[in-house]
Amino acid sequence: MTTPKFVPSTDALIKKLEKLSKLSFDNVKLRDEFGLILGHISSLDEVDVQNIKPMFHACIEDYEFAKDEVEVFDSELITKTSPYIKEHFFCVPSILEEEN
């Protein structure tokens, strides 16, 4: 892996990044790291993408989704077989502690 070139980060760029991110970049070391990041990003300009079609998604495979199908259940049969039913609702133990 090659070391990215350094692109000096200008005050105008830093101010724009601060405004967009709603952060403050006062640290000199952080500004230098921005220069390395910008150098890496500018190296992407060297990649030839002339004959590459734009993509909307990183996955190029097509996926087949399962169809949404409604299943009808016999609610009376289900409520008859469940021991904890009250007014057509399932009763379950409480998982939250009651406050006194």
Confidence grade of residue 65 (pLDDT, cut at 50, 70, 90)? confident
Query: pTM of whole model > 0.85?
Result: no
What's residue 3's pLDDT?
A: 60
Domain ranges of the chain: 11-46
Reported as a single tens digit per residue, the pLDDT across 69-97 is: 888 888 788 777 888 888 878 888 888 87
The residue among 63 and 47 whose pLDDT is bigger is: 47
C-alpha–C-alpha distance, residues 100 and 97, integer Å:
9
C-alpha–C-alpha distance, residues 87 and 63, integer Å:
43
* Neighbouring C-beta atoms of residue 74, cutoff 10 Å: 8
What's residue 93's pLDDT?
A: 82
